[in-house]
A and B are shown apart, each in its own frame.
Chain A
Amino acid sequence: MSKPTEQAILDELRTQFQQELLEAKVTRDRRIFIEVSPRAYKPVMDYIVRTMGFTHLSTMTGLDSTEGFEIMPHLSRGGAVLTVKVRVARDNPMVETITDLIPGATLYEREIHDLVGVVFRGHPNLERLILYEGWPEGVHPLRKEYKAVQPEPLRRV
């Protein structure tokens, strides 16, 4: 896929969603990144999946940016990877599920729910997936306040 195609994808999204599209860039061949406002997240995803044909969800990244959280589904179509970013407030980390659009998102959303602590509204089953049953509620390892165990520094003996 060449540059014009990536540009065409961006143009189509810009005309469709205008100011709801907060950021849009092409970083290299076949790599497109966009950011959408939280209320436009579901309609944008619907359009991207059902109309534009980005039907393969590679994965979803959850990220703690200290001010809030970012949820990023990475979708692909014919080699092009489209990353959609949506920001979620820290005090009420909640976002719409996309499992109804892409059933393949089920485990990825559960993983983020476990490790970052974002709730996906409408998810069929948000049970624990990775952390074990006895893990304390409200502790999410991928949040920045959670400190991982540091290995001991090497020393000469």
Chain B
Amino acid sequence: MAFSTFEVPVGPQHPALKEPENFTFTVDGEHVVGVKLRIGYNHRGIEKAAESRTYIQNLYLMERICGICSVAHTTTYAQNVEYALGKEIPRRAEYYRVIIYELNRIHSHLLWLGVAGHEIGFDTLFMYVWRDRERVMDILEMLTGNRVTYAINTIGGVRRDITPEMADKVRKSMDLVEQRVTYYKKAAAAEPTLLTRVKGVGILRTEDARRLCAVGPTTRASGVKFDVRAEDPYAAYDEVPFNLVSYDLCDVLSRILVRVDETLESARIVKYCLDHMPSGPVRVKLPRTVPPGESVSRTEAPRGEVIHYLRANGTDKPERYKVRSPTLGNLPSVCEMLTSKGDYVVRIADIPIALASIDPCFSCTDRAAHFVDPSRGKEWSWTFEQIRKYARKD
């Protein structure tokens, strides 16, 4: 009955994460029956900006697409340019990329697990998990020099090498991560507070996950075995053994289990890579201009498949650079999860955890300083200096 429904706007201040987007929920009493979505609050025009920068400058632009999976975008980008140049990079560099990539996945999944705990009012879990995540952040800082924007990838390899002492420290931390995560897994499976909040919540059926082209842990938690690392191996993934984690409970619990198991897998991958890294150089010098052509590069970021498309025109700047981050791929799925149908009921209180369960990252989803005055139909651009002057005006 249409007259009994009501529209509840949620956002642009996100109920789950500290990033802006807007959902309009149609509710019938306590039940969510429809959802409309609005993104773009974080759009920074990175694809456009990439066209006016050189391939080397773009490396640093790509790093800033996302603060959590920064290495996912630089790896995909560097790879894409290497593909377009038709050049191979040293094997050691490929192994090193896998190590940083997996450490990034561990920190991202632990971050998410903490946030998920917080969303359901289980802040003890949040505190514990984030303490352990700090260890991984320290390791990343030791290896790359940075906690967030690692700046480790370059076109033609990686910018630093790893010493045996560093490797030992990484191994120790991975042992700790494995031990802690195993404990959380055991604790979570027996914790009624957690189970009642996540079981049967945010259902995404297998056929819907396929139909809506979901990616990453979201699709793997719905029983679809889709992982770029396994089916389209890049860097050193063709040599690194790992288990593709998949659960078919199709709910938030399933997504927690996938991420917890993946964290354990990642810790093992890091240790395997440290033991099997070939010696040799970590980078080669590649030309600064890319011959005309096109290329597609994919990687499996913590949130799912990242795909970049490059059209080169023979200069040192790309003709067009397209970026698709995993969250955009998962948004149709989250709308599906948040719509009641038949026996499946979505309550308003389930919104935050269901939204958080795809691990949304809106920074990478939205990618101008351009000003538009809608009342006068006018548009203009300002330099940074002009903005500063404007801000100083009383």
A contact set with B: CB distance below 8 Å: 27-28, 30-31, 33, 55-59, 61, 63-64, 72, 74, 76, 78-81, 83, 102-108, 111, 115, 128-136, 139, 141-142, 146, 148-152
Contact = CB atoms under 8 A, between A and B. Distances in A.
Given A27-B295, A152-B385, A134 B374 contact: yes
A56 B329 CA distance: 11
Interface in B290-315: 293-296, 298, 305, 307, 309, 311
B42 to A, nearest CB: 10
B379 A136 contact: yes
B296 A83 contact: yes
Contacts, number: 121
Contact of A72 (B51, B309, B328, B331): B309
B305 A58 contact: yes
Nearest to A150: B52
Contact of B47 (A131, A132, A142, A152): A142
A64 B313 CA distance: 13
A28 B34 CA distance: 44
Interface string B204-218: 000000111110000
B112 to A, nearest CB: 22
Q: Sort A-B residue pairs by CB-CB distance and give the 9 closest, nearest first.
A: A134-B374, A104-B213, A59-B324, A79-B231, A130-B40, A79-B232, A61-B322, A58-B307, A149-B381
Contacts of A129: 38-40
Contacts of A64: 320
A93 to B, nearest CB: 16
B368 A148 contact: yes
Contact of B232 (A81, A134, A149): A81
Given A74-B307, A149-B369, A61 B320 contact: yes
A125 B241 CA distance: 44
B366 A130 contact: yes
Given A106-B332, A142-B48, A150-B52, A30 B232 contact: yes
A104 B329 contact: yes
A63 B370 contact: no
Given A81-B298, A134-B372, A59 B329 contact: yes
Contacts of B381: 149
B192 interface: no
A58 B325 CA distance: 10
B213 A57 contact: yes
Interface string B353-380: 0000000000000101110101001010
B309 A61 contact: yes
B330 to A, nearest CB: 10
Most chain B CB inside 10 Å of its own CB: which residue of A58, A78, A80: A58
Nearest to B382: A149
B49 interface: yes
A149 B294 contact: no
A28 B305 CA distance: 19
Contacts of A115: 47
Contact of A131 (B40, B49, B295): B40
B372 A152 contact: no
B210 A74 contact: no
Contacts of B384: 151-152
B83 interface: yes
Nearest to B43: A130
Given A148-B51, A151-B384, 16 more contacts: A28-B86, A56-B210, A103-B212, A103-B332, A107-B332, A133-B374, A134-B374, A135-B374, A139-B379, A142-B47, A148-B52, A148-B370, A149-B381, A149-B382, A152-B384, A152-B385
Contacts of A130: 39-40, 43, 366
Contacts of B214: 104
B370 A149 contact: yes
Contact of B210 (A55, A133, A149): A55
Nearest to B322: A61
B226 interface: yes
Contact of A152 (B294, B320, B370, B383): B383
B231 A107 contact: no
B213 A56 contact: yes
Contacts of A141: 45, 48, 368, 370
A151 B383 CA distance: 7
A64 to B, nearest CB: 8
Contacts of A128: 40
A87 B295 CA distance: 18
B82 to A, nearest CB: 10
